[in-house]
Structures are given as C-alpha cells and as structure tokens.
C-alpha cells in the first residue's frame, strides 16, 4: 500500500480530522513566501515591522502600512489551488473537524470551507481593526485610502490607531483562536500538517499536542521539518497534488461503500 492509500484510509477511519496549514499551501497559489529567497523579507526588514515599532511611533506605523499596502494586492488576487479545494472536499464529505492555519489569506474560506471551521492563528489580512475602539473595516476600504496617498489611516469612529487584523512580530497571539486550536489539536484523532515548516511557535506545537494526546500525525511538506520523526507518515511533495489524490481516494472509497 502506498502512502496516499494509507493516508486516505486513515482519513476514512478518523472521527476528528484536523488539518493544519502553513505557507507551503499558499505559495502554490502564487503568494510570496516570507522566508524563502526572493520572498517578502528580501524586500522588507522584519526587524522594522514588529508590534513594538508599530505602537511606538508614527514612523513605525508608516513603515508597517507601506509593507502591508504592498502585500495586499497579491493576497486579494490570489485564488485557491487544488490543495485548498481538496481540503474543502474533505469538509463536504463530512471528514473535517476544522482547519487550523498560519496563513492570513482567507483562501480556505474562498475554497468553500465555512468561516466557523477555520481557525486563523495569525489573523487575517481581509480586515483592519481599530486598536482603541475595536471597529473593523474591510481591507478594500482601507487600501483605497492608502492608494489615495494616506500613509497611516485612522479610525473614523474614534481617531484611534488602526492595524491590519494580523499578528505582527512581538504581538500577542489571539487568545480565543490559540485556545481553540490547542483544544481541537488535543481532541483530534488524526492531525494532517500541510505546507508548514513547523518552526514558528506556538503554532508548531500543535502537531505535537495532537500526537501527545494519541492522534496519528501526517506531515506533507516539500522539505523536511523538525517534527518529521514524530509523524506516522511523511510525504515530501507539493501539497496540491498530494491532497487532491487523498481527497479523490477518500471520495472513491466512500462511493465504493
């Protein structure tokens, strides 16, 4: 039995499948990786884009918004790829408990996974939030202000500091989402890690939490990860083709039943 067969059987046997996704699934939709050569950190200095710099000065906020302004068009134009659609298919087949994602692009929701089934550990770029009164703005609305020449947008309601609803370096992780992710990871019986290098904590702890609580662990990533030796099955290939094969086999086996 090959690895795809084995994984599809594990998915069929699972009562609580959690899929965990990282940048590797988004790069297959044409979204730039932050860390790879030619990625976003080759164009911007991450040390200038931390939460403390953002909160400390108008210059820090201006730099952050410049970075975010350049990032948005790529995110806005991105389309889900076969990997996203395969995960959405597993949802439609009744095999998915939830998706925990490190990505900020909302491509899981675009592919058909309901909002309530997606836990966004690092936030989302599709909203901008006022840090003082909590008002939320659609990103398109704020992007139009940036495109008009405004360098640091302010809240219409209270004049407060606004920030993309993503987690910056040095910013606390969102409490509700982090607790929810930890709880779902601990309660699942199959944890499928897809396109994550598994080096960014606390997100990278999730597969180990699942494994420690008795779940099977599958890792699909183009390159090796520090957690490979914990996994029951490791596949070092592109996520889209692999997930598509898994979803197709699950569907075929369900029809065969």
DSSP category for residue 24: H
Tell me the pLDDT tens digit for each residue of 5-54. 999 999 999 999 999 999 999 999 988 766 555 556 666 677 778 999 99
CATH no. for residue 147?
3.30.1600.10
Annotation marks residue 229 as catalytic: no
Do 147 and 230 lie in a common domain?
no
Burial 67-80 (b: 16+ CB within 10 A, else e): bbbebbeebeebeb
Do 210 and 241 lie in a common domain?
yes
Do 192 and 257 lie in a common domain?
yes
Please report, for the chain, how many H helices and E strands are present, in that order: 10, 9
Do 73 and 84 lie in a common domain?
no
The domain in which residue 155 lies consists of 32-77+123-166
Tell me the pLDDT tens digit for each residue of 209-247. 999 999 999 999 999 999 999 999 999 999 999 999 999
Do 161 and 255 lie in a common domain?
no
Do 127 and 220 lie in a common domain?
no
Do 36 and 154 lie in a common domain?
yes
Do 185 and 255 lie in a common domain?
yes
Residue at token pair 């389309």: 79
Structural domains counted in the chain: 2
pTM of the model: 0.93
Choosing from 84, 108, 122, 227, which is the catalytic residue? 122
Tell me the pLDDT tens digit for each residue of 118-156. 999 999 999 999 999 999 999 999 999 999 999 999 999
Q: How many Å apart are CA 181 and CA 119, to the nearest integer?
A: 7
Do 130 and 235 lie in a common domain?
no
């Amino acid at each position: 039995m090959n690895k795809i067969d084995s994984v599809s059987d594990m998915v069929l046997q699972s009562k609580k499948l959690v899929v965990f996704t990282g940048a590797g699934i988004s790069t297959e939709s044409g979204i730039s990786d932050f860390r790879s050569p030619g990625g976003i950190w080759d164009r911007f200095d991450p040390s200038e884009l931390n939460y403390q710099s953002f909160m400390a000065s108008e210059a820090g906020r201006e730099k952050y918004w410049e970075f975010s302004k350049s990032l948005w068009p790529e995110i806005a134009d991105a389309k889900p790829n076969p990997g996203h659609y395969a995960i959405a298919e597993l949802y439609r087949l009744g095999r998915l408990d939830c998706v925990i994602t490190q990505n900020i692009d909302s491509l899981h929701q675009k592919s058909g996974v309901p909002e309530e089934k997606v836990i966004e550990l690092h936030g989302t770029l599709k909203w901008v939030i006022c840090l003082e009164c909590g008002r939320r703005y659609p990103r398109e609305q704020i992007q139009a202000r940036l495109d008009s020449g405004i360098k640091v947008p302010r809240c219409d309601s209270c004049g407060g500091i606004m920030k993309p609803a993503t987690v910056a370096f040095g910013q606390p992780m969102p409490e509700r989402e982090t607790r929810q992710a930890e709880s779902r990871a601990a309660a699942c019986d199959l944890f499928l890690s897809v396109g994550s290098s598994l080096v960014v904590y606390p997100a990278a702890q999730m597969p180990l939490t699942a494994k420690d609580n008795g779940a099977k662990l599958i890792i699909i990533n183009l390159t090796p990860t520090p957690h490979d030796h914990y996994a029951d099955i490791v596949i070092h290939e592109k996520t889209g083709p692999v997930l598509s094969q898994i979803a197709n086999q699950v569907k075929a086996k369900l029809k065969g039943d």
